[in-house]
Amino acid sequence: MTLIKSISGIRGTIGGKPGDNLTPIDAVKFAASYGIWLKDYSKKDKLKVVIGRDARLSGEMIQNLVVSTLIGLGIDVVDLDLSTTPTVEIAVPMENADGGIILTASHNPKQWNALKLLNEKGEFLDAAQGAKILEIAEKEDFDFSDVDDLGVINKNDSYIDIHIDEVLNLSLVDAEVVKKAKFKVVVDGVNSTGGIAIPKLLKEFGVEVVELYCKPTGHFPHNPEPLKEHLKDICDLVVKEKADFGIVVDPDVDRLAFISNDGEMFGEEYTLVACADYVLGKTKGNTVSNLSSSRALRDITQKHGGTYEAAAVGEVNVVTKMKANNAIIGGEGNGGIIYPESHYGRDSLVGTALFLMLMAEKGGTVAELRASYPSYYMSKKKIQLTPGLDVDGILKSMAEKYANEELSTIDGVKIDFAENWVHLRKSNTEPIIRIYTEAKSQIEADDLADRIIGEIKSIAGL
């Protein structure tokens, strides 16, 4: 199960057989399906699509295939080349484009790549739109353009700089305030495009930058998911350099994690908590995160007099709930910051700027800031799926077992106990069941996760 077709795009491992992996044939097929859908959706004679990619090894190959396919459909392409997910998102409306495609498998290892699909607002497609594209791909009913009607490529490598300017111009961002703090920060760019964008941004704030894995070679030096077990190098370097903190992003720069000055994880769940604390302290309003995110955001929101709501996992679901709830900041507990004043997409550049402002104004250390927030501890575990495993049946059995607890089944099964919670769901991006728990101590969170995993394995006969 290495080719995953979902409403959010197509993701798979490079190589192998078409239909089983993300091969050149699959890349062309799904790029064509998106192009055909976009023609019907936009009802325009001439279309423009923005394309950007992270630095993974297969990126240039997939980019060439996708760009050529769109041109073959008569669609003009704005080619950003090496870019970030949020940069492509802001470029789409700036270019008055009709859509965008980001070529990235986000936090997945180097053998993976993906086509992530955007609408004319630079936002991810909704479920119905994604389903329509999958339907077009299934039928393979493609009609390409004649030679006189082919699209053209316009290359534009300035958008990371434009993106940084947009961040600097946000109403709650003041570079001069940060410059006075004279921060020193270590950056782990996992040898992808975050290694270009984040140091550039920090230097605009007068930050002394220590670069770690910031060359965009695509050779990820560690598992690119920004979790504690993958980040020993930067944790050690923050202490060695006597830095104020560390910044870690994933390959496409939509997830953001901080390392405290003592070399400990700030906690990717607390990225959103800290940024929301800063924004809510300046502007009254509401927040949204997903069902797998920490209760700490709810606590901080209520402290500032706002209302918190939880959405199903997935950026498009969080954005939909944010719009309905008039949320002024939101995101996902994986370190994804969505700040509507900028755009409705997870953005590590925006998150970095808001965090710098918070630290510059509050003073003190990052470790002290973390200690000031409600203390919750999370465990994020997974069970690898095997062919034939009845995931829906397993989740239904777990819901029945805990029917007397506070339950949500809008996205998998979330069981809210008085002192802790567990969220079980099938991943949209990997062949796994995710088991997220949260409690008042790490031991409790881990024990709850292990207990639930044991119960799932018992039900599944594993």
Which alpha helices (H) appear in 190-290, and where do they start and end?
A: 194-204, 232-240, 268-282
Q: Which of 8, 83, 106, 294 is catalytic?
A: 106
Catalytic residue status for 458: no
Coil, helix or strand at residue 382? strand
Strand partners, 175: none
Burial tier of 158 (Cβ tally within 10 Å: 0-12, 13-18, 19+) = exposed
Looking up tokens 């992270």 gives 54
Phi–psi pair at 408, nearest 5 degrees: -130, 130
Phi–psi pair at 134, nearest 5 degrees: -65, -35
In terms of DSSP bridges, do strands 76-82 and 421-426 run parallel, antiparallel, or are they unpaired? unpaired
Strand partners, 259: 246, 265
Indicate the DSSP class of residue 122: S
The H or E element containing residue 136 is: helix 127-139
- Cβ within 8 Å of residue 292, ≥6 positions away: 313, 332, 333, 414, 423, 425, 434, 436
* C-alpha span between 241 and 184 (Å, rounded): 9
Q: Which of 460, 396, 454 is nearest to 425 (CA)?
A: 396
In terms of DSSP bridges, do strands 432-439 and 377-384 run parallel, antiparallel, or are they unpaired? antiparallel
Catalytic residues, by residue number, are 106
